[in-house]
Amino acid sequence: MNTMLGLWGPAADAWSMIERLPEPGSDTSEDLEPDGLLARAIDNSLMLGATRYRMEALADRLGLEKSQRLLPSFEAGVVGERDAGESDWLVGPMIALPIPLFDQGQGEIAKATAEVRRIQAQYYDQAVQVRAAVRAAYARLESAKAKVTYYQQVMLPLQQQIVDETQLQYNAMQVGGFQLLQARQMQIETGSRYLDALNEYWRSHAMLTAVVSGGSAELDLSTTAPIRSAPAMTGGGH
């Protein structure tokens, strides 16, 4: 874990595991409103930040180019010369003055302007990507949450009810022991699928948190494999 987090020294000992993850959606302090998420993701995106700095730096350079455009590129210096075989240095001042007749700097300016525009376009592109990533991660989280809630509110109580009712029907000798065990087996399988749904929820949650906190927009949004696949339903009695 420390390796994955890139931690060493005291920081490596400073974190601890949460005993049990909270119930999905139970943390009301968590701001998971889509609009806020988008703004935060744009603000926090490292990729966008980098692009913005590059754009600003280039814009600064463009300003410089413009300011130097009609000023001849003035170069002054000291030139020292010594011919071979001679021991004395000839030192004299040097002045180079371009004559702004054909080259008034238009090429440089156009290049820099285009570069600024390119980076600007790239910035917009990346912003779209970030927003898309937020929306995708958010949609995936919502879907996972809906599934978890459905399991909590419908599937798990229903399976419990099926087991309870089957027990009553067994007591009344309306069904046999095998059917009772089958009901229990179905309940266990449903519990297992509920854990898969919870797993998916927390993975989605982590992805959304990552992208909102500035992480890469190039997230792997493929469905995560469940921890264990649901056991095949048996036909029973064969």
Q: Cβ neighbours of residue 58 under 8 Å, at least 6 residues apart?
A: 112, 115, 116, 119
Would you list the DSSP string of 181-203?
HHHHHHHHHHHHHHHHHHHHHHH
Is 165 near another protein (CB under 8 A)? yes
Closest CA to 119 of 207, 182, 210, 58: 58
Stretch that binds another protein, among 15-23, 62-70, 171-179, 200-208 (CB under 8 A): 171-179
Is 177 near another protein (CB under 8 A)? yes
Stretch that binds another protein, among 31-39, 92-100, 166-174, 213-221 (CB under 8 A): 166-174
Is 36 near another protein (CB under 8 A)? no
Out of 178, 221, 228, 236, the only residue in the binding site for another protein (CB under 8 A) is 178
Is 174 near another protein (CB under 8 A)? yes
Buried/exposed 66-80: b ≥16 CB within 10 Å, e otherwise: eeeeeeeeeeeeeee
- The residue among 57 and 233 lying less far from another protein, judged by its C-beta, is 233
Out of 18, 95, 172, 232, the only residue in the binding site for another protein (CB under 8 A) is 172
Out of 109, 175, 186, 210, the only residue in the binding site for another protein (CB under 8 A) is 175
Helix, strand, coil shares, percent, the chain, to 5 = 60, 5, 35
Is 124 near another protein (CB under 8 A)? no
CA pair distance 237, 10, nearest whole angstrom:
59
Stretch that binds another protein, among 46-54, 126-134, 159-167, 191-199 (CB under 8 A): 159-167
Is 238 near another protein (CB under 8 A)? no
Is 171 near another protein (CB under 8 A)? yes
Q: Are 199 and 224 in contact (CB under 8 A)?
A: yes
CA pair distance 183, 168, nearest whole angstrom:
12
Stretch that binds another protein, among 31-39, 147-155, 168-176, 214-222 (CB under 8 A): 168-176
Is 168 near another protein (CB under 8 A)? yes
- The residue among 2 and 171 lying less far from another protein, judged by its C-beta, is 171
Q: Least separation, in Å, of the C-beta of 173 and another protein?
A: 5
Q: Least separation, in Å, of the C-beta of 20 and another protein?
A: 24
Q: Which helix (H) or strand (E) holds 212?
A: helix 177-212
CA pair distance 217, 50, nearest whole angstrom:
14
Torsions phi, psi for 95 (to 5 deg): -130, 125
Which residues make up the interface to another protein (CB under 8 A)?
A: 163, 165, 167-178, 180-181, 184
